C-alpha cells in the first residue's frame, strides 16, 4: 500500500518538478517584481501550469492505459457466440440504457487480477477494459454489474472531473509552496545583517520539499472525492443493470479482494476494485471498502431501472 501511495504521488510530483526545472532554467517567474511577490500573477501562473499537465494526461489516458496494461481491443463486429461478442453486446446494451450514443473501445488486458477500468478524455473517446482474471473467475451476471459500473463512470464524466480536481490540487500545491518559501526568505532577509536570505539553490530545494508535503495532503482530498465517486458509480450500475446484479458483482469481487494489481497507480482511481486496510491506507485509497459499498446499495431507496 505504501508503495502504491508513493508511486502515485511521485507521478504527480514529477510533472510539477519538471515544470519547476523549466521555470528556473528559463528564468520565467512573472510573479516576482521589484516590489515583491504579485500573488494574483502567481496564482494565474500556477493555475496555467497546474492544469496543463493534468489535461495532457487526460488526453493521453486512453493511449497510455492500452500500452501500460497491454489491452487487446475487441472488434465490435466479433463473431457471435464468442466471449468477445458477449462483452460487446453487454456494453452496447448498457450504453443504450445510459444514453451514450458512442460505443467505447472495449478490451481485455492480460492480468490475474480480478478488476476492470474505464478511462478516456470524453464519452466519445473512452475505453472500457476488463482483466483476463475477472473473465475467468466471474459469472456473466457479475461481469454485467462490473461493466455497468464502468459505463457509469463514463456517463458521469468522472475522468474529466478527476482531471479538474487534480489541476486544482496542482495549482494550490505550486502556489502554497512558493508563498511559504517567499515568506521564509523575507523573514531571513529581515534578520540577516547582509539581507541575503535564502540562496537560489536553497529556495529551489525548499519549494520541492513543500510541494511534496502539500501534494500528500492534496491526495487525501482527491482520494476522498474518488471514494464518493465510486458510490455514485455503484448506484449508476444498479440503475443500469439492476441492484441485485451490482450487489452480486461486488460480492464476487470481495471473494478476490487480494487479486488487485497495484503496479499501475495512475489507473487505480479508474478501476472498480481498489482495496484498503487500516485508517492510513483508507485515507489514501481510491475506493471504499467493498463491505461499505455493498451495504450502501442494500440500504438505498428502491431504484428505477433504466430501459433502452
Q: Which residues are catalytic?
A: 150
Question: How far is residue 178 from each of residues 58, 63, 167, 261, measured CA to CA in Å?
Answer: 26, 34, 17, 36
Collect contacts of 87-94 with beta carbons under 8 A, ≥24 apart. 87/130, 87/143, 87/147, 90/143, 90/144, 90/147, 91/128, 91/147, 91/151, 93/308, 94/144, 94/147, 94/148, 94/151, 94/240, 94/241
Q: What distance, in Å, lies between the first and last C-alpha atoms of the chain?
A: 41
CA distance 231 to 226: 9
Helix axes 140-156, 200-241, angle to 10 degrees: 130
Alpha helices in the chain (DSSP H): 2-26, 39-69, 83-98, 132-137, 140-156, 158-191, 200-241, 243-254, 279-283, 290-299
CA distance 169 to 161: 12
Asked if 218 contacts 169 with a C-beta cutoff of 8 angstroms, the reply is yes
CA distance 272 to 245: 15
Amino acid at each position: 500500500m505504501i508503495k502504491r501511495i508513493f508511486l502515485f504521488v511521485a507521478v504527480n510530483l514529477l510533472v510539477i518538478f519538471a515544470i519547476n526545472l523549466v521555470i528556473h532554467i528559463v528564468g520565467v517567474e512573472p510573479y516576482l517584481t521589484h516590489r515583491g511577490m504579485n500573488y494574483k500573477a502567481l496564482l494565474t501562473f500556477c493555475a496555467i501550469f497546474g492544469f496543463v499537465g493534468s489535461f495532457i494526461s487526460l488526453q493521453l489516458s486512453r493511449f497510455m492505459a492500452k500500452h501500460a496494461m497491454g489491452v487487446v481491443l475487441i472488434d465490435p463486429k466479433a463473431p457471435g457466440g464468442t466471449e468477445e461478442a458477449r462483452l460487446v453486446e453487454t456494453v452496447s446494451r448498457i450504453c443504450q440504457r445510459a444514453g451514450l450514443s458512442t460505443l467505447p473501445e472495449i478490451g481485455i488486458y492480460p492480468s490475474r487480477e480480478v478488476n476492470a477500468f474505464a478511462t478516456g478524455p470524453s464519452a466519445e473517446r473512452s475505453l472500457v477494459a476488463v482483466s483476463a482474471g475477472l473473465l475467468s473467475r466471474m459469472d456473466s451476471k457479475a461481469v454485467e454489474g462490473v461493466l455497468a459500473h464502468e459505463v457509469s463512470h463514463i456517463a458521469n464524466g468522472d475522468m474529466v472531473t478527476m482531471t479538474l480536481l487534480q489541476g486544482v490540487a496542482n495549482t494550490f500545491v505550486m502556489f502554497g509552496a512558493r508563498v511559504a518559501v517567499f515568506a521564509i526568505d523575507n523573514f531571513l532577509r529581515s534578520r540577516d545583517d547582509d539581507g541575503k536570505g535564502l540562496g537560489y539553490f536553497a529556495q529551489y530545494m525548499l519549494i520541492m520539499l513543500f510541494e511534496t508535503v502539500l501534494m500528500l495532503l492534496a491526495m487525501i482530498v482527491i482520494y476522498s472525492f474518488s471514494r464518493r465517486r465510486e458510490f455514485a458509480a455503484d448506484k449508476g450500475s444498479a440503475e443500469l443493470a439492476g441492484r441485485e446484479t451490482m450487489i452480486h458483482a461486488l460480492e464476487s469481487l470481495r471473494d478476490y479482494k487480494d487479486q488487485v494489481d497495484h503496479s499501475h497507480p495512475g489507473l487505480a482511481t479508474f478501476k472498480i476494485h481498489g482495496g484498503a486496510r487500516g485508517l492510513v491506507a483508507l485515507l489514501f485509497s481510491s475506493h471504499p471498502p467493498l463491505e461499505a459499498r455493498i451495504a450502501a446499495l442494500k440500504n438505498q431507496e428502491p431504484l428505477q431501472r433504466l430501459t433502452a
